[in-house]
Amino acid sequence: MRFGEILTPSALVDLDKVERNTRWMSQRAHALGVRLRPHVKTHKCIEAAQLQVAGHFGGITVSTLAEAHYFAEGGFTDITWAFPLPLGRVVEALELTNQIERFAVVVDHMETLEVLEKEADKRCETVCVYLKLDCGYGRAGVQADDPTAMDLARRLSESPRINFRGILAHAGHSYDCRTPAEILRVAQEERDNAVLFAERLRHDGIAVEEVSVGSTPTMRLVEDLEGVTEIRPGNYVFFDLFQANIGACQIGEIAFSVLSTVVGRYPQRDAIVLDAGALALSKDPGVHPQNPLFGLLTHPETGQAWTEGLLGGLSQEHGKVSWKGAETMPQIGDRLRILPNHSCLSAACHPVYYVLRGMEVVDTWRPCRGW
């Protein structure tokens, strides 16, 4: 298939950039002296995950049980499901424990641990568990200073059916940052909170093997990870406009885009309409939700950004662009490549990614979907 034959809207992956991005993070992990257990939730496909783990121990992180099954079938044998274990999926998780070398789940509630212990006991299974720590993000996880955190860690470490792996934290609040300096501060907080909590547990006689942290912004900028054993960044494979806007990558590193065609051209009201709407891009508003821009419009071949065009609105299948200047306004049938705000959500809209080297389609990747 040639580039010109790709129907729109379609998801494009720039393989040179993916290779560069994955190599960068791989070297970063080596330089920082930590194991790389990359997150695969951004792309959810085997081929990209293989590039991510190259030169490392092969472990990955997933966000859904569907991904865990998919990557297990794809040959991955060491998988962490970095999501608070839902009670309704405990049995399925235990079954997977039996199918690959090492499947780990994440817990931060005694209620969940009790159900897990009971089911594991019933099945005579041992299950790997991380204790989720809230390192300042305020989404999930125990608070380090909450006495129940210590109780939970002790119970995990003493439970006969639990192989307690250690601490898992995720600095999701790095996405609230707007400068590299802010990201660096969050990265240090993520590291310090996780390492200090692990040390407190060890001081109390609880063995903590792993201290697992990581988001793409924090792993891009942090310079010292002493005490941390593994990192779990994921978005860096593709990056996106959001990462560029907060200073975690350059525009030129963004490896995922959505190819779109101009289907409407209205110079009298400075507007064009594209065939990529909310179902092809997702509706993530980017860094300024009150004044959303749903992506950066670029030339499909040169990658040059078209700053005259602002993708300010999305309906289900229409992208609504205001375009200043009739002389550069694209024509009906012209194609644009849209760098999306949030590649994890945009990629999830597409059943297939067209993988390019330059303008040549060299592969198609079919990601996992669902839960």
269 binds a copy of itself per the rule CB under 8 A: yes
How many other CB atoms are found less than 10 A from the CB of residue 121? 12
User: For residue 371, what is the DSSP state?
Assistant: -
Judged by CB under 8 A, the residue of 1, 181, 326, 332 near a copy of itself is: 332
Rule CB under 8 A: choose which of 51, 100, 140, 305 binds a copy of itself.
Answer: 140
Name the CA radius of gyration of the chain, rounded.
Answer: 22
Three-class SS state of 172? helix
Neighbours of 77 (CB within 10 A): 14
Q: How far is the CB of 226 from a copy of itself (least distance, A)?
A: 28
Nearer to a copy of itself, 225 or 280 (CB): 280
Contacts of 246 (CB under 8 A, 6+ apart): 174, 175, 177, 178, 179, 183, 217, 287
In the bound state with a copy of itself, the residue whose beta carbon lies nearer, of 225 and 310, is 310
Q: Which of residues 172-201 bind a copy of itself (CB under 8 A)?
A: 172
Look at the chain and count its residues. 371
Tell me 108's DSSP state.
-
Report if residue 139 touches a copy of itself, rule: CB under 8 A. Answer: yes
The minimum distance between CB 335 and a copy of itself, in angstroms, equals 8
Q: Of residues 57-116, which lie at the interface with a copy of itself (CB under 8 A)?
A: 63-64, 83-89, 108-109, 111-112, 115
Residue 147 in contact with a copy of itself, rule: CB under 8 A: no
Task: Output 34 or 344, the one with its CB closest to a copy of itself.
Answer: 344
Q: What angle (nearest 5°) sits at the alpha carbon of residue 285, between those of residues 261 and 46?
A: 70
Nearer to a copy of itself, 63 or 229 (CB): 63
Residue 82 to residue 75: CA distance in whole angstroms: 19
The CA–CA distances, whole Å, from 3 to 254, 274, 303, 360 equal: 19, 18, 14, 6
Question: Per CB under 8 A, which of residues 193..252 are in contact with a copy of itself?
Answer: none
Instruction: Give me the residues that bind a copy of itself (CB under 8 A), please.
Output: 7-10, 41, 63-64, 83-89, 108-109, 111-112, 115, 138-140, 143, 146, 172, 261, 263-265, 268-269, 271, 273, 275, 278-280, 282-285, 289-290, 292, 315-318, 320, 331-333, 344-345, 348, 350-351, 369-371
